[in-house]
Structure 1
Amino acid sequence: MDRTAIGFGEGHTPEAEWFDELRRRRIKGPISTQNRSLPRSLSPETLAVHAGTYEDPVTGAVGTPIFQTSTFHLDEASYDAFSDGALRDVPIYSRYGNPSQWSVQEKIAALEGAESAVVTSSGMAAIAATIYALTNSGSHIISAYDVYGGTYNLLREDMPSAGREVTFVDPLDLEAVRAAIRPETQLLLFESLTNPMLKAPDIRGLAQIARECGALLVIDNTFLSPINVRPLNLGADIVIHSATKYLGGHSDLTAGAATGRRKFVDRVWSQVLRFGGTLDPLVCFLLERGIKTLALRIRAQNENAVAIAEYLASSKYVEAVYHPALGGKGYSDLRLQDYQGFGGMVSFEVVGGDTGALRFMEHLTLPYVATSLGGVESLVSMPSNTSHSSLTKKQKDMIGINPGLIRLSVGIENVGDLIDDIQESLKAACEVKAP
């Protein structure tokens, strides 16, 4: 087949200049002429459905085909890509790039308001590739005590042996972040909403600190998604996702993503090549399909989570509830106009500690007791024995993971049904009759 017919022919990629010349320019993408490239100013509902879709010129299919192949025919454009250093922009080998990847990457980039994105085989693959790509041996990284357990373990266990030092701080304490800065600080890594305590750091403030010291700010936006907040608009340099969660949204895939300016994403992509964290074309198809309903799902989950948080705050069987909509410490300084909502996560402490929490989960009939989050179905787990089980008691206490802490990922079910189930399960768990 003539490659120009499917959008990858001569003239698509501008002639590359030498790497050491300042006039060398990166185009957005990678993207072919068959992918729908839409203005980032369009609404998220529209971008979620249409951005990046591959419009097949042969069949006229309105959905992106699955390019289930490991390699592509080599031609003049392929050889030019090797010589010009443009391997991201021409289909050569699926570890380098695949049209299925490019379609979903463009959709994610459009939703985050970015130039480029790269998808990976998991959220941790995206996190690891980003950290290694944007730092080097002898550098210093600042992050939060209460990042996702896998991120914390990577930073604490692997970075020292890789020649990178890490300082952990309270993500809400900007002065502590500023005090941790060193001359060799290269990266600030925080979450837009922390796991599992749902703290909401001041992203604008963190971006200002990063600019002052010449470091890059990376925000993990897994919990909020671009529907609720766009960290790049607030000053972040790179946004990462465990696309397994809200972006995919159906608990049927594992994927990650990193998005931002192409000059940064190209470096992440190169690191992904070396680590081998390529996303399979079939999973790209599932992820792109899942994202099409992202805006609708997120808004339903936003509303459900607020209603459940308000109910839990009134329950005598609950010691504490953590959700931004309830206010309290850490949320008073938020610029609420930056957020469209706070996602479907609610954390709370059940009366009776861990024993009470386990009994509560045993009595639930609707939410699944399972790890992960962000799916259309509600999921519930205890961070202390799942995502943060590797932490010591002292580390858990520092974060605020107290006995009885439950992390609820609210789905799109009828919220009345969910509240009824939670109410009955709390009652059954906490009103245990003496034998």
Structure 2
Amino acid sequence: MKTKTKAIHSLYQSKDAYGALAMPVYHTDAYEFENAEIMSDAFCSRVPLPDYSRVTNPTVIYFEKKIRELTGARHVHALTSGMAAICNSLLAICGSGSNIVTSNHLFGNTWLLFSKTFARYGIEARFCDLCDIEAVKASIDGKTACVYAEIISNPLQEVVDLKALSDVAHERGCLLLADTTMIPFTRFNAGQLGVDLELVSTTKYVSGGASTIGGVAIDYSCGNDYEERMQEMMLNFGAYMTPHVAYMQTLGLENLEARYSLESANTMELAERLRTLPAIREVNYTGLKDNPFHELACRQFNDTYGAMICIELESREKCFDFLNRLKLVKRATNLFDNRTLAIHPASTIFGNFSKQQLHDLDVSENCIRLSVGLEDMDDVFEDIRQALTD
């Protein structure tokens, strides 16, 4: 089956008693077993039966199964958020004394997780330019557990060469982990580009309309040790996705392709139109042909570029004035809602960072991040235009 069909037609792991077309929400903590032997087998993972909803639930299992079929992955783990997916997965891979080679151009919370939280547990983050393969090679040593990248960084929109990073990581005996939230996993195959573990905030494209918070870890080739440790993380840390969220996000998967097709087309249209506004000094979108990362993004992601635009204004004050004048576009965080959203990253996502840290991370005080929605772009463009008019 093709991707659009797979997203809708995926068999349940067990036949529903009433023939429900939508996977039921199993709002239950525990499950009854026919006998002690089956109960023991379920708890010890010798049979694919749920035992306790903190770690296994039929609604969540179905969501994981759908993503596994859409991506061709070996295993999929659904968690309570994108950050939970990142944190649990890395703790399954890293241990005290190991290190992660990554970029300084990370989403704010991920950078803090690596530089502060993990450091307290003896896991070192080695920041380097992931676009410089020689710098990556120089950063890897015998204690490197993985190379970690964002496929399109947030908000700088830097694109890394996944195949090149994969080759280096695998030559040195470590894994390549990639946060692929910026492009739907239905549009390109991370595993074929050499990614061992794909991490996604399903809060974004998958949920559909910003209805729920969730994340998934999509394992292509991490191996049995990772899978056993990830089961341990799920059992002991309690970050398993809830059944209601899994139900909502399963519905989101069914119309993901339709929504993304419109969002990405809207984003390209808006990016081109924003260049006509004198108050905007720069429009940063990898879909624009003169963007320095356009060719690489086109090659890796099959000629699609996501639904995030960053614009540069004259000053921080102009950014705040612009945000305050918006009438249709919402002042809000999150990405890939049905609505178009605007935020000033330096004062919000990176708001507690020092000026030196903002400089080191290349986070501009003059940048506005736009997440483009499903509205008519005439209306969105007019709102942006009027908000920039003195």
Coarse TM-score class (shorter-chain normalised): over 0.9
Residue 162 (structure 1) shift: 1.2
Instruction: Show the counterpart of 2:164.
Output: 205
Question: What amino acid sits opposite 1:369 in the alignment?
Answer: R
Residue 398 (structure 1) shift: 3.0
Residue 414 (structure 1) shift: 1.2
Question: What amino acid sits opposite 1:130 in the alignment?
Answer: S
> Residues 69 and 94 of structure 1 are in contact (CA less than 8 Å); yes or no, is this contact kept in structure 2?
yes
CA–CA distance in structure 1, aligned partners of residues 109 and 208 of structure 2 = 20
Pick the aligned partner of 1:344 from 289, 307, 326. 307
Instruction: Show the counterpart of 2:136.
Output: 177
Pick the aligned partner of 2:320 from 330, 334, 358. 358
Find the residue that maps to 1:89 and give its secondary structure.
coil
Q: How many residues align?
A: 384
> Residues 54 and 64 of structure 1 are in contact (CA less than 8 Å); yes or no, is this contact kept in structure 2?
no
Residue 260 (structure 1) shift: 1.4
Question: What amino acid sits opposite 1:258 in the alignment?
Answer: A
Residue 53 (structure 1) shift: 4.7
Superposition pairs of residues 65-76 of structure 1, within 5 angstroms: 65-74=24-33, 75=35, 76=37
CA–CA distance in structure 2, aligned partners of residues 306 and 328 of structure 1 = 12
Pick the aligned partner of 2:42 from 81, 100, 103. 81
CA–CA distance in structure 2, aligned partners of residues 335 and 283 of structure 1 = 32
Q: Does 1:310 align with 2:272?
A: yes
CA–CA distance in structure 2, aligned partners of residues 343 and 187 of structure 1 = 26
> Residues 245 and 373 of structure 1 are in contact (CA less than 8 Å); yes or no, is this contact kept in structure 2?
yes
Instruction: Show the counterpart of 1:393.
Output: 355
Residue 266 (structure 1) shift: 4.5
> Residues 97 and 124 of structure 2 are in contact (CA less than 8 Å); yes or no, is this contact kept in structure 1?
yes
Pick the aligned partner of 2:103 from 144, 154, 160. 144
Per-residue CA deviations over 1:69-113 (Å, capped at 9, x if unaligned) read 01111333221234xx41682211011201011111112222222
> Residues 55 and 64 of structure 1 are in contact (CA less than 8 Å); yes or no, is this contact kept in structure 2?
no
Residue 164 (structure 1) shift: 1.3
Unaligned runs of 5+ in 2: none
Per-residue CA deviations over 1:245-268 (Å, capped at 9, x if unaligned) read 111121111111101147344532
Superposition pairs of residues 325-340 of structure 1, within 5 angstroms: 325-326=287-288, 327-334=290-297, 336=299, 338-340=301-303
Superposition pairs of residues 85-100 of structure 1, within 5 angstroms: 85-86=44-45, 89-100=48-59
CA–CA distance in structure 2, aligned partners of residues 394 and 328 of structure 1 = 27
CA–CA distance in structure 2, aligned partners of residues 91 and 340 of structure 1 = 40
CA–CA distance in structure 2, aligned partners of residues 52 and 135 of structure 1 = 35
> Residues 318 and 348 of structure 1 are in contact (CA less than 8 Å); yes or no, is this contact kept in structure 2?
yes
> Residues 149 and 390 of structure 1 are in contact (CA less than 8 Å); yes or no, is this contact kept in structure 2?
no
Superposition pairs of residues 416-435 of structure 1, within 5 angstroms: 416-427=378-389, 431=390
Instruction: Show the counterpart of 2:17.
Output: 58
CA–CA distance in structure 1, aligned partners of residues 81 and 151 of structure 2 = 19
Instruction: Show the counterpart of 1:367.
Output: 329
Residue 52 (structure 1) shift: 5.5
Structure 1 pair 388/70, CA: closer, same or farther in 2 (3 Å)? Answer: same
Find the residue that maps to 1:253 and give its secondary structure.
coil
Pick the aligned partner of 1:135 from 84, 90, 94. 94
Q: Provide the alpha-carbon RMSD of the alignment.
A: 1.9
Structure 1 pair 310/107, CA: closer, same or farther in 2 (3 Å)? Answer: same
Q: Does 1:379 align with 2:341?
A: yes
CA–CA distance in structure 1, aligned partners of residues 330 and 46 of structure 2 = 43
Question: What amino acid sits opposite 2:253 in the alignment?
Answer: I
Find the residue that maps to 1:195 and give its secondary structure.
coil
Per-residue CA deviations over 1:343-364 (Å, capped at 9, x if unaligned) read 110011123x111111111222
Residue 43 (structure 1) shift: 2.3
Instruction: Show the counterpart of 1:24.
Output: none
User: How high is the sequence identity, in percent, across the aligned residues?
Assistant: 29
Structure 1 pair 383/195, CA: closer, same or farther in 2 (3 Å)? Answer: same
Larger radius of gyration: 1
> Residues 228 and 340 of structure 1 are in contact (CA less than 8 Å); yes or no, is this contact kept in structure 2?
no
CA–CA distance in structure 2, aligned partners of residues 285 and 207 of structure 1 = 34
